[in-house]
Amino acid sequence: MADTHNGADLERWRLILGPAAESCTGGLGEQNAERDAALDWLYSRDDDLARRGVRRGGSRGDNNGPRGADDSPSQLTTVDWLDGIHRLFPKETIERLERDAVERYEIHDVLTDPDVLARIEPSPSLLKAVLRTKHLMNPQVLNAARRIVEEVVERLVEKLQVQVRTVFTGSRTRKPSWHRRSRDFDLKRTLRANLKHYQPDERRVAIERPQFHSRTSKRLEQWQLVLLVDQSGSMTGSVIHSAVTAACLHALPGLKTHLIAFDTAVVDMTSDVDDPVELLMKVQLGGGTDIARAVEYGAGLIENPRRSIVALISDFYEGGSEARLVHLVKQLSDQGTQVLGLAALDEDANPVYDHDMAARLAKVGAHVGAMTPSHLVEFVAERLGT
């Protein structure tokens, strides 16, 4: 047993350290040799290996000759590789390998081969890659890519809708309610009300009178939410989450939601706001940035300034007139419109943005910060007086 355990540890070290360690660790068993080949197929592409003097292609070559004598690509196809990693690795590792294939090594057939797209696991990183390259896809590949968009968006919507329901369906009060809904079950009051039914022999309380909370109703006056989303290449994650957020907020009573995408041009996508998949398939990422033009367009949509929120989702690197942008934001704030500047709108909330411009906008009345979609929903709820 001890020898088996030590052997497994040595194989793990061999996988970590590579073929150069075999003189100390020994070789690999059949399954770990397959894992090594799958890892080598991907990571032997790293140019840094040559700079560090690491020989590439550790799992290629025959058993008698030198390994990795050249930089020739493995005979594995992308489809073979995907099938292999799904058989050999746990889910978390698969997601990391697929993400590196798409983002780090830009293996293009991951996004241009329908057979590959049919096998790959949908993920947010893959969705970003699809949005960046969909203009290069033929109709057959685009249909396969749409499956990825649909599955990832569905997951994001389900997750955010929980937050929307929590924020907008009312808050609990201490008052009892005759309406029996599981989400309003009051455990403490139920136990107090039924203690007289305690059964010592069975050590349990017989519940004869369950107690429930009441909820305050939330009356929403008519508000407008104008989401202005920078669709330049660096803001892909923000575009995705903005589309999902807009779809979740669109159906709320008392809230009129607009979604505007911009680079140097402005595109009003409000007609598709209830269908985030269709909306994302129409987004054209890339290009420059004219934030002031988008803010001016958003300002023109406002019907009641004191019942409006303009959410600008951007890195704040203005390619147009900075002075005009600051002036427009000041005008909106002065008329009573809530202006929110979001430096990031993805789940990691790791913003890279123009701090000087963000500070200038905050100085003229904008609320500037980095928020996840759930925090944006909370911000909107606060401004609606809920």
Query: Is residue 14 a contact partner of residue 25, using CB atoms and an 8 Å limit?
Result: yes
What is the tens place of the pLDDT at every residue in 98-109? 878 877 887 877
Q: According to the model, what pLDDT value does residue 67 have?
A: 39
231: which DSSP letter?
Answer: -
What does the pLDDT read at residue 59? Answer: 39
Report pLDDT for 188. Answer: 79
Residue 219 above 80 pLDDT?
Answer: no
CB 305 within 8 A of CB 276: no
**Strand positions, DSSP E, 196-354:** 198-199, 204-205, 213-215, 223-230, 255-262, 266-268, 308-313, 338-342
Percent of the chain with pLDDT over 90: 17
Chain-centre distance for alpha carbon 197:
50
Quote the radius of gyration of the chain (alpha carbons, Å). 28
Alpha carbons 320 and 232: distance in angstroms, whole number: 14
pLDDT of residue 185: 75
Task: Give SS3 for 57.
Answer: coil
pLDDT grade, residue 143 (50/70/90)? Answer: confident
Asked if 158 and 172 count as a contact pair (C-beta separation under 8 A), the reply is no
pLDDT class for 310, splitting at 50, 70, 90?
A: very high
Tell me: pLDDT of 1 over 50: no
Helix/strand/coil for 266 = strand
Distances (CA, A) of 320 to 217, 228, 325, 326, 369: 45, 16, 8, 11, 22
pTM of this prediction?
0.61
Question: Measuring CA to CA, which residue among 251, 381, 366 is closest to residue 313?
Answer: 366
pLDDT at residue 85 is higher than 50: yes
Q: What is the token pair recorded at 107?
A: 């293996």
| CA distances from residue 309 to 221, 345, 386 in whole angstroms, order as listed | 13, 16, 15
Q: What's the pLDDT at 99?
A: 79
Low-confidence winner among 121-135, 293-307, 315-329, 333-347 (lowest mean pLDDT): 121-135
Residue 329: pLDDT band with limits 50, 70, 90: very high
- Higher-confidence residue of 285 and 298: namely 298
As a three-state string, the secondary structure of 90-135 is CHHHHHHHHHHHHHHCCCCHHHHCHHHHHHCCCCHHHHHHHHHHHH
Decide if pLDDT at 62 tops 50. no
Tens digits of per-residue pLDDT, 280-292?
Answer: 888 876 677 899 9
Per-residue confidence (pLDDT) for residue 293, from 0 to 100: 95
Q: Round the average pLDDT of the chain to a whole number and report it.
A: 77
The predicted model gives 75-84 an average pLDDT of: 77
| 349 residue type, one letter | A
Could you give the CA distance from residue 284 to residue 291 in angstroms, rounded to a whole number? 16
Percent share of the chain, pLDDT over 70: 77
pLDDT of 297 reads 97
Looking at residue 357, its pLDDT comes to 94
DSSP string, 156-220: HHHHHHHHHHHHHS--EEEEE-S---GGGB-HHHHHHHTGGGEETTTTEE--SS--BEEE-----
Q: How far, CA to CA in Å, does 322 sit from each of 36, 177, 222, 319?
A: 53, 55, 32, 8
Q: Residue 336: is its pLDDT beyond 90?
A: yes
More confident residue, 83 or 309: 309
Read off the pLDDT of residues 149-195 as tens digits, 9 standing for 90 and up.
888 888 877 877 776 766 665 554 555 655 566 666 777 788 888 88
The DSSP call for residue 291 is: H
Q: Which residues in 321-330 are b (16+ Cβ under 10 Å) and which e? A: ebebbbebbb
- Highest averaged pLDDT of the listed ranges 86-100, 110-124, 234-248, 299-313: 299-313
Helix (H) or strand (E) holding 61: none
Mean pLDDT of 7-36: 80
Whole-number Cα distances in Å, 246 to 40, 243, 290, 367, 377: 42, 5, 22, 19, 10
Q: Which of 52-61, 132-141, 371-380 bottoms out in mean pLDDT, i.e. has the lowest?
A: 52-61
Q: Is the pLDDT of residue 266 over 80?
A: yes
Which candidate, 267, 316, 264, places its Cα nearest to that of 286? Answer: 264
301 pLDDT exceeds 90? yes
Q: Which residue has the higher pLDDT, 158 or 352?
A: 158
154, with CB counted inside 10 A (0-12, 13-18, 19+), is middle
